Homo-oligomer: A and B are copies of this chain.
Amino acid sequence: MPKISEKRKAERREQILAAARRCFAELGYEGATVVRLEEATGLSRGAIFNYFPSKEELFVELAVQDSARMSELWVNEGLEAVVREVMDIDPAWLAVYLELIRRVRTDADFRGRIEARQAEVAPVNRAKVEQGQRSGEFRNDVEAKEIGIFVNLVLNGLALQRASGEEPPSAELVLSLLGDAIGGRAPAETPPRTRP
């Protein structure tokens, strides 16, 4: 029997991930049983678990895809693109993250695997903030890390609001107030320090 090519393997992997994403979003993480995953992918559980050893692993890979895409947007297109992306993501998929929050907090192994993958994009994201601080896009009187923390608070708040089905605020409002919090300060606002 001929071996399945690497290209075919990669395609099938993507096909499984895309179907799993739809399935989790539609049914919730708990509702997406193995039987439903089989239906959504059109593959047997044996074939699925040949690529991803567990349902949990499927979720972790989808989360990794998301952080990679967000990081790419952030680095290449900046804050506005990221805010607009969070406003565009399917609320049903966002809710899957929230459904798993309890497990992230209480299951050290699960948490560790997600954090390890997020740590891969963290330095690139941080470097982008530092670059913005040098160019004057972001304020430089607080640490780059602190700017990242605040942006994440706002993006997470937006994700939570969208997942709950609330009417989201306009991207313009979010960008304007967020800009006032983290944007570069005009020189007049930083009075020169008097030397003792």
Contacts and interface: CB of A to CB of B under 8 A. Distances in A.
Task: State the oligomeric state as a number of copies.
Answer: 2
A54 to B, nearest CB: 20
Interface residues on A, range: 35 or more
Query: What are the 10 A-B residue pairs with the smallest beta carbon separation, nearest first?
Result: A105-B165, A153-B157, A157-B157, A98-B98, A156-B157, A181-B181, A95-B102, A177-B181, A156-B160, A149-B169
A153 B161 CA distance: 8
A122 interface: no
A102 B31 CA distance: 12
A173 B150 contact: yes
Contact of A98 (B101, B169, B178): B101
A167 to B, nearest CB: 10
A186 B91 CA distance: 39
B163 A152 contact: no
Contacts of A92: 102, 105
Interface string A137-156: 00000100010011011111
Nearest to A161: B156
